[in-house]
Structure 1
Amino acid sequence: MKLRKIVSVILMLFISVLSFAQSGKKLDKIIKRDYQIIECSIAKMSDKTVEYSLPGETVQISLDVSQIARIDFASGRSQTFDVTPNSATPNTSGQVAASAEMKPNTIAILPIPYVNSGTLETSEEMAKFAQNDLYNKLLDKSANLFPLTVQDLRVTNSLLHKAGIDYKNIDETPIEDLQKILGVDNILAAKVSYTITEGSTASTYNSGNAKVSDDNKKVKTNDVSTTTASTQTYYNYMVYFDMYKNGTKIYSQTRKPFLNIKDSWMDSISYLLKRSPIYVKK
């Protein structure tokens, strides 16, 4: 009788340990191209399908490999599936972004970070404004850029948005990935860094009424002295200007505007563009 009780206790302990081990088992992760993550146990893989079962289930589910971007196995090994023109490429955020069809001799203008180097604050409004300004400059000088074609700004920003990329993380994304996402072989990347300082100036104006004395000498009376103070705002810019072709940096310059006025960074952008390798004087 005692032996049966001992066997029962041992059996229950074994089942508990087994259940605990199964519940704590590391799972495989399937990262699909639509960003869905499936935690599962992979049973079988082939060139066309992956078969897996969900935790606590024995039924096997088949998934076409064309829907899979990457598999992170419980062992720590990862397998990334081939990227084709209609497939995907992982970006730095860990998501999967679709690759656009490659358009040769096309240049895309990236969002331009507009950063206060003192506070590290960025402005989305100014980043879009700067990007749009540079885009319009390229369109205006399109004859000087031949044979390059400028990618429509809406297309560029739409593809970046789908990939989860904006002015805040554009610097963290490799150029090779950006070219695949945008489908271009040329990229123009710029950045505007600035600080704002203020200076005060004062001017004094003297006035008075003069009259002639009995000895014909002029004397001043009722003198009035007025002092006016004004505050001047100075914008100290540094413009960074980079061009890439097929993943290789072909031009990199920085320029500080001659004037310290609010929009002087735009003059530096124009200056650097006209001296870049893609610009041909006519």
Structure 2
Amino acid sequence: MKKMLALLFAISTVSVCAQTKKIDKIIKKDHSVIEATVSKISDKSIEYVFSGETLVNSLDVSQIVRIEFANGRKQNFNSAPAEAPSPKPIAESVSKSASPEVQILKPNTIAVLPAPFVNSENLSSSEEMAKFAQSDIYNKLVAKLTNIFPLVVQDVRTTNSLLRKAGIDYKNIDETPIEDLQRILGVDNILAAKVSYSLKTMQTSTGFGSTNAKVEDHKIKGTDFSSANSTTSSLYDYNVYFDFYKNTSKIYTETRSPVFKTKDAWMDSISYLLKRCPIYKK
């Protein structure tokens, strides 16, 4: 009887020990815990086996915060727990390949954007003319700094350099929100212009002549000559679009077509619109 009781006590002791046996704990970045026996650790992964199984499982170490072994030892992994990605400061309309930096805001500063110069008949555009128009507007503003005080004008080289770093040029500048442009350029005022035009040709002719005649022996004798010239002139039909933004709000917008049809007539329209913009003081 005593032998039977001793045997039962031994079996129950082994059973209790088996139930209370500690196993390894794998703590993941998502705060979940895997209780299993870790069998192998490498630089890239760990291998573990669940209790009562023989199947070897693998887990990338980038998913692990630490391992708490059954013997009490702990092993931490360098990778910090995953965090939610920070919101992008610039809208995705800006080129995805670019990494635009948000500039420190310079109060009371105007940035003049490249002014798209578009042929309305075939929609072709010119980078040279876009920058030429931008420079023309910039020069007109700089020449009248006393009339726009306390505002100052950002140098066009700075403006174009920041736009290029952000992947923006004269072709896609109309697609970029003003609030993004202000953060990219670090200004609180933006002047955006656009010139649309169509070209026509007109040909004119002029002529003159002379005839001298007299009668000799019942016959008409004399000289007859004439001359004609033709000239071809180009006529430009312009539409100038002018928008001014302050702190992302459009405070002035106008469209003007110059009266004259000369090649440089758009410049007169720019001057006219600048003088009527709310920033201009007489």
> Does the TM-score normalized on the shorter chain lie above 0.5?
yes
Over the aligned positions, Cα root-mean-square deviation in angstroms equals 3.0
Asked if 1:180 corresponds to 2:165, the answer is: no
Aligned-residue identity in percent: 56
Partner of 1:171: 174
With normalisation by structure 1, the TM-score equals: 0.68
User: What aligned pairs does 1:89-238 form with structure 2 within 5 A after superposition?
Assistant: 89-92=90-93, 93-94=95-96, 95-209=98-212, 221-238=222-239
State the distance in 2 between where 1:201 and 1:141 align: 41
Partner of 1:244: 245
**Any idea what the Cα deviations from partners look like across 1:176-206, whole Å, max 9, x if unmatched?**
0000000111000000000101111111112
Partner of 1:58: 60
Of 68, 78, 86 in structure 2, the residue corresponding to residue 81 of structure 1 is 86
State the distance in 2 between where 1:235 and 1:103 align: 39
Q: Report how far residue 228 of structure 1 moved.
A: 1.4
Change (3 A) 1:150 1:120: same
Gaps of 5+ in 1: 1-42, 47-52, 66-70, 72-78
Q: Report how far residue 209 of structure 1 moved.
A: 4.8
State the distance in 1 between where 2:134 and 2:152 align: 16
Structure with the greater alpha carbon radius of gyration: 2
Partner of 1:269: 270
State the distance in 2 between where 1:233 and 1:151 align: 36
Change (3 A) 1:62 1:107: farther
Q: Report how far residue 227 of structure 1 moved.
A: 1.7
**Any idea what the Cα deviations from partners look like across 1:144-198, whole Å, max 9, x if unmatched?**
0101010111111111010000100000000000000001110000000001011
- One-letter code aligned to 1:58: D
SS of structure 2 residue aligned to 1:97: coil
State the distance in 2 between where 1:64 and 1:122 align: 50
Change (3 A) 1:147 1:227: same
State the distance in 2 between where 1:191 and 1:57 align: 58
Gaps of 5+ in 2: 1-27, 32-43, 46-57, 63-77
With normalisation by structure 2, the TM-score equals: 0.68
Size of the alignment, in residue pairs? 211
